[in-house]
Structure 1
Amino acid sequence: MSLRDRWHVPAALLSPVRAVPLVFAVFILLGTGLLLLPWCHDPGASVSFMQAFFTATSAVTVTGLATVDIGSHFSWPGQLVILLLAEFGGIGIILVATTLGVLVGGRIGLRMKLASQTDLHVTGLGQVGPLFRRILLTTLFFQGVTAIILVVRYRMTYFDRFTTAAWHGIFDSVMAFNNAGLSLQPTGLAAYAADPIIVLTITFAVLFGTVGFPVLAELRDRWRRPDTWTIHTRLTVWGSLLLVAIGWVLFLWFEWTNAGTIGAQSVPHKIMTGLEGSVMPRSGGLATFNWGDVRPETMLVTVAMMLIGGGSASTAGGIKVTTFFLLAYVVLAEIRGDEQVRIGRRAISAQTIRTALSIALIGVALAVGGTLALLLLSDSTLPDAAFEATSAFGTTGLSTGLTPHLSIPAQLVVIALMFVGRVGTITAASAFAMRRRKSRFRLPEEQPIIG
């Protein structure tokens, strides 16, 4: 007997489509309340409701945009609250959504199917426990390894006290793997810009976080046999590597002589910063340089990368890598004149294509609408507004410096974009998957003029 039947809980309340946004909203409000408590503030620092609300939303949605300096405005307990909110936001959506999907009686939406595929195969309530353990162990492994490296490096080079080094290392490891983008340093990673150990460790932690738990689980068992990977893993792994390579090359090409970013750096330093500049827009949000100084062509490429985001069922945002490359295969099939969209030896269903197309168009519409709203509500240029809106929707956390200067109405727009960017597309994907129904009749077809 399911929990719903035992406790007579309405299915509508437990439906992931309704419950996931509700749970995230509750945690945001809870975090806001905690951050407003006096013991969460640094002595002499005052935190307004909007500052606490914005920070809590940014943490729960693992975005990383901030209107105040986390390190100077919040005390150690306040920073701990922010860390816990980001931890829940990073992995909590998989746990909550999968549990609710099972409780409803097996009606698992797109996001939960991705989280329980491969060797997990969640079909009953009794399998939720093992699923939780695998997700938590994977998260703790990557965060633990990252934290150990960072703590040792921070203690050896940057901080005299071990407790300070340990706290910074733990905080940065959680933010990196969860793609949360918040930092205790007022300039983010800029203080460590010339340190390859710190920059590369955080960069690779962000990259692994964008892959997604289902892919990590499958790679653990089948990394030597790529021919046995599922379509989802192939699209995510090869697509992510391709996007990193393209972003890396284009960043170096456009910024090589830009004195505001990497123009004055040595060649090895430029190559390292180029990798960071390619990975972080995928949802990482941490930076060793000011994104407001990049050239327009770099900004345009970055906006596209932020819109795409990371892998499904990961800690990243955006429309997702699988969505983007699935639609690329749709275009390729149309160019070739193929009746079916094929990836390898598999055909993609029409329903999956419709869902991917819907998610992509919703994402573009939200980014464009958010840009327009910021232009109307703030004193910003089109590039800055587009960058900020896409960063919020893609839960990236990068900014050209606009965030602290936004008016309250503009901050509310960014808050809405962060929230919708984290749970909106997931909810939409789940809703589309759950609303499948067979038609008892077919209408006559007509072909409007296309193009």
Structure 2
Amino acid sequence: MAPAPASALRRASGAVTAVVAGSPARAALSAFALGALLFTALLTLPIAAADGRPTALHDAMFTAVSAFSVTGLTTVDTSTHWSFWGHLILLAAMQIGGLGILSMASLLTLAVSRHLGLRTKLATQEAGMTTGNMGEVGRLLRVVVVTVLTCEAALAVILVPQFAGLSGSWATGLWQGVFYSVSAFNNAGFALHAGGGIAELAGQPVIVTVIAVGVFAGALGFPVVMVLLDKGWRFRSWNLHTKLTVEVTVLLLLLGAVGLFFFEADNPATHGGMGVGQRIAHALFGSVMTRSGGFAIDDTNSHSPESLLLMDALMFVGGGSASTAGGIKVTTLAVMFLAIVAEARGDKEVTVHGRTIAQETLRVAISVLALGSTLVLLATIVLVSITGESLQRPLFEVISAFGTCGLSVGVSAEAPPAGKYLLTALMFAGRVGTITFAAALALRQRRVLYRYPVERPILG
């Protein structure tokens, strides 16, 4: 007798749980590697290209990994190189990749919570990463999928009529509205308009605003979105993770906007000829996109050196944990800053909002920051060697790849195949690296029955 569908689903759910709990890092790496290879194969098919010819492997792999890791960097013009079927493959890669990132981050958190005991389980449940019973992986994934699709649908409801009005066709409006909704909420940054950006949409305030809101919401992270849906905007009722994420995200958004507003004020290639209101709008949009959005209404390559350096910093930080954004995450920055403040004050513990940050969390934050910095440093050295360029442009492209941001100064398209493969590997590492690394550190706990004598090396 054939097994009931419910029984088969339960067994499949149990198998997924066992794999993730047994080796979460391996599960994440394997899932994303298989997905990237699948979409690479699809994009090499002649039907995916507008000219009906197979796309070069390095370009197909770069684009597939960029879409599946929801980065947005490209080596070819998305609007002209790919056919409708190629665009459809990109849409599927962004959607599946975005859902996979959220789901894997949630499952890794679930695996960590089981390993660390009841206290961390309760903290994880409070953060919105679970939906009741800790073992209900299937229910957790359903909540993730429904939440993401609902948010994307809300964006599409507004965007579809706007694009239909611009194109004069409801079919085109529906396609473009859905594509940009998925690309925005998943922080993918892929665009259907000429040049791979949305500069020609800069005069459409509704479209630009909705895309920015979608990117901002997607970068907050699934735990934060769940808390906001449950608690609303009652700040006191939020858990610590939500408070830190929202506070740091808004702070960095404002700092980035202020910096871009002043740094680009006299730049005729970007904001120089605009009025104050338009400059504010462009600065805010640019600041949002550096968090991992990747859309551009200004020529990124024309920005001043000061702006590019500021954008480097914002892209490196990225967005919220368990989100489609990349980078080291805003909570890592918050924890590091709070630790510095506590040390300067002479406090023995790091506290904020009436809560104490665990020492384990501090160690994970330091490790994630060190790993990210090392990857960026080594990759920049190699890319400078490959391209022969000075530091600024390769550094920007490397950080954009690591932070899965997607903003580009043109190095991705201009680099030889070796440089493209390097950036491809960096996008992959930036997407799964910090998630799996943080989870691996949290799961790696050895029981030691002895202690060595304490000694303090001289620091500083």
Do these two structures clear the TM 0.5 threshold for a shared fold by scoring above it?
yes
**Structure 2 CA distance for aligned equivalents of residues 11 and 170 of structure 1:** 34
1:34 alignment counterpart: 42
**Structure 1 pair 100–242 and aligned structure 2 pair: CA distance change class (3 A):** closer
Deviations 1:5-64 (A, max 9, x none): 987998589521111011100000000111112222213555111111111000111100
Deviations 1:304-349 (A, max 9, x none): 0000000000010000000001100000000000000001211111
2:359 alignment counterpart: 350
Match of 1:184 among 165, 188, 192: 192
2:372 alignment counterpart: 363
1:422 alignment counterpart: 431
Deviations 1:405-450 (A, max 9, x none): 1111111110111000000111110110000223211111111111
**Structure 1 CA distance for aligned equivalents of residues 322 and 123 of structure 2:** 6
1:398 alignment counterpart: 407
2:293 match: secondary structure: coil
Residue 338 of structure 1 pairs with residue 350 of structure 2: no
Deviations 1:83-137 (A, max 9, x none): 111112212123245457768994489x999985435535757522332232222
Q: TM-score, normalised by structure 2?
A: 0.91
Contact 1:147 1:169 in 2 (8 A): yes
How far apart are residue 165 of structure 1 and its match? 1.7
Match of 2:279 among 270, 273, 276: 270
Residue 54 of structure 1 pairs with residue 62 of structure 2: yes
Deviations 1:344-402 (A, max 9, x none): 21111111100001001111111111111110011322110110000000000001122
How does 1:130-279 map onto structure 2 within 5 Å? 130-156=139-165, 158-187=166-195, 188-279=197-288
**Structure 1 pair 258–108 and aligned structure 2 pair: CA distance change class (3 A):** farther
Q: Percent identity?
A: 39
Residue 297 of structure 1 pairs with residue 309 of structure 2: no
**Structure 2 CA distance for aligned equivalents of residues 171 and 9 of structure 1:** 32
Deviations 1:264-323 (A, max 9, x none): 122221111010111101000000011111111111110000000000000100000000
**Structure 1 CA distance for aligned equivalents of residues 212 and 121 of structure 2:** 27
Structure 1 residues not aligned, in runs of 5+: none
Contact 1:3 1:103 in 2 (8 A): no
**Structure 1 pair 89–116 and aligned structure 2 pair: CA distance change class (3 A):** farther
Contact 2:62 2:75 in 1 (8 A): yes
**Structure 2 CA distance for aligned equivalents of residues 105 and 300 of structure 1:** 38
2:452 match: secondary structure: coil
2:3 alignment counterpart: none
**Structure 1 CA distance for aligned equivalents of residues 123 and 179 of structure 2:** 28
**Structure 2 CA distance for aligned equivalents of residues 6 and 12 of structure 1:** 10
**Count of equivalent residues:** 449
1:85 alignment counterpart: 93
**Structure 1 CA distance for aligned equivalents of residues 318 and 116 of structure 2:** 23
Residue 444 of structure 1 pairs with residue 425 of structure 2: no
Structure 2 residues not aligned, in runs of 5+: 1-6
**Structure 2 CA distance for aligned equivalents of residues 162 and 233 of structure 1:** 39
Residue 69 of structure 1 pairs with residue 77 of structure 2: yes
**Structure 2 CA distance for aligned equivalents of residues 190 and 162 of structure 1:** 22
**Structure 1 CA distance for aligned equivalents of residues 149 and 16 of structure 2:** 35
**Structure 1 pair 384–346 and aligned structure 2 pair: CA distance change class (3 A):** same
1:23 alignment counterpart: 31
1:286 match: secondary structure: coil
AA aligned opposite 1:430: A
**Structure 1 CA distance for aligned equivalents of residues 310 and 52 of structure 2:** 41
AA aligned opposite 1:450: L
**Structure 1 pair 107–375 and aligned structure 2 pair: CA distance change class (3 A):** same
How far apart are residue 79 of structure 1 and its match? 1.0
| Structure 1, 19-28 or 162-171: larger mean CA deviation | 162-171
**Structure 2 CA distance for aligned equivalents of residues 129 and 10 of structure 1:** 13
Contact 1:116 1:214 in 2 (8 A): no
**Structure 2 CA distance for aligned equivalents of residues 280 and 423 of structure 1:** 21
**Structure 1 pair 288–9 and aligned structure 2 pair: CA distance change class (3 A):** closer
AA aligned opposite 1:91: L
Contact 2:368 2:437 in 1 (8 A): yes
Deviations 1:161-181 (A, max 9, x none): 221121111111111110001
**Structure 1 CA distance for aligned equivalents of residues 121 and 222 of structure 2:** 11
**Structure 1 pair 208–295 and aligned structure 2 pair: CA distance change class (3 A):** same
Q: CA RMSD in A?
A: 2.6
| Structure 1, 183-192 or 13-22: larger mean CA deviation | 13-22
Match of 2:130 among 116, 121, 126: 121
1:283 match: secondary structure: helix
Contact 1:115 1:313 in 2 (8 A): no
**Structure 2 CA distance for aligned equivalents of residues 104 and 448 of structure 1:** 32
